[in-house]
Structure 1
Amino acid sequence: MKPDDNLCLCFHVPRRKVEQFIRVEKPRRVSELSQCFGAGTGCGWCRPFLQRLFDSTDPNAESLPAPEQYQNDRKEYRRKQAEEG
């Protein structure tokens, strides 16, 4: 995933914004990343990825899926959510 690819697909929050938020605001809890344009407060798909960036000492080095794979996996996640209801 490149810096300008959306990490939070619900609210269109790019990875770059999340990394910058972590660097500048220095959140103490991963839940504070929701203050970054609502990241993680929609469907919940991006929460594990937000956690990975939060836990990383160097967010830029963190490996995240390619954008196409990320979006396809989210579609499957949302489909399963709808089925479980």
Structure 2
Amino acid sequence: MNLDDKVCYCFHVSRRKLVNWVRHNAPKVPSQLSMCGGAGTGCGWCIPFLKQIFKQGTGPGAGCVSCVATPDDTLDVLTPEEYAALRAEYVKAGNGTPPPGAEPLPEAKDEKTD
């Protein structure tokens, strides 16, 4: 994903905004990224990716125990379409509920209407 692609679809927060927020605010823990436009406080899908951005922006030894299980390159290898489709699966499986105004879920190929 590119810097201008959305990471938090619930509150429309881009990767660029999050990366810059980390650089300017030097958060101590990943959950502080929620102060950047509410990222991570909607359906919860983006939380592992916020941890990844935190880890990349703060460097090794930042003290993030929960970041250990988060791969460093996931955002770099996913396309925006793949990311959106995975979020849709996450939400449809009942793992989170997007708030009003969130990015709508993409239609699955078998759900399209004529």
| TM-score, normalisation: structure 1 | 0.87
Secondary structure in structure 2 of the residue aligned to 1:45: coil
Structure showing greater Rg: 2
Deviation at residue 52 of structure 1 after TM alignment: 0.8
Aligned partner of 1:2 in structure 2 is 2
How many pairs does the alignment contain? 79
Runs of 4+ in 1 over 6 A off after TM superposition: none
Amino acid at match of 2:90: Y
Unaligned runs of 5+ in 2: 60-71, 96-114
Which structure 2 residues correspond to residues 2-81 of structure 1 after superposition, within 5 A?
A: 2-56=2-56, 57=59, 63=73, 64=75, 65-81=78-94
Identity %: 47
Q: Deviations over 1:10-69 (max 9, x none)?
A: 000000000000000000011100000000000000000000111123xxxx53121000
Amino acid at match of 1:15: R
Alignment RMSD? 1.5
Deviation at residue 81 of structure 1 after TM alignment: 1.0
Higher helix share: 1
Partner Cα distance (1:23, 1:67) in 2:
23
Secondary structure in structure 1 of the residue aligned to 2:91: helix
Amino acid at match of 1:24: H
Unaligned runs of 5+ in 1: none
Aligned partner of 2:107 in structure 1 is none
